[in-house]
Structure 1
Amino acid sequence: MCYVWAHNPTAAVNVPYTPSGTYSYNAVGRAAANRVTRTGVGSYVVTCRGVGGGALFAGSGSWGAGGHVQVTAYGTEDADYCKVGSWGTGGADFTASVRCYNSAGIPSDHRFTLMFSW
């Protein structure tokens, strides 16, 4: 399981940051194992290290690909919604691309929450 509150919608492009530890969680590495990278206006990549299903816990083998992802826009920025662009499991880490848009459908920087579970 991984939960992230991406609290910095205008972080420097391509510079990962650790999301709020108070409102984030990672079943393997706690909140410190989560990263959010802004890749452009309204575009983000979330990485949750260690929960991708491949060799999840010592001795547990591999869970393979699977799981469920939800993302929700958060706050009062100029965005109507955020959605998952793509996501991947099966390796050591879980990754997801997130896209946020304003009411006109134009990419917009925005805070969001993301939850991944098996």
Structure 2
Amino acid sequence: MANTANRDTIRHPAPETFDLAHVLRTVGDPHRLRMVRLLAASGERPCTGLSDELGLPKSTGSYHLKLLREAGLTYTRQEGTVRYVSLRRDELESRFPGLVDVLLRPDAD
């Protein structure tokens, strides 16, 4: 049973380990940048809702969300069989002041 618990643990990087180059490479993809903007506008959402809104297959949406989480941009929590994702805005702002505002500007594309 211990292996199941370890497999289901969702890992998130600590804010002090966020790397600006990694964050910028991650949001350099238009789908991931749009996911960040949707999360900033609406708060926490089910993972499948983001994929559906962007018209992405579930597997592609999961891949993009994994990259956002590993870069430190998002936080994912599981409730039953549903995973919810939210933007780590406060942690990002603390580590890189002003970055989130720049990413949310319409002309940042």
State TM-score, norm by structure 2: 0.29
Greater share of strand residues, 1 or 2?
Answer: 1
Greater share of helix residues, 1 or 2?
Answer: 2
State TM-score, norm by structure 1: 0.28
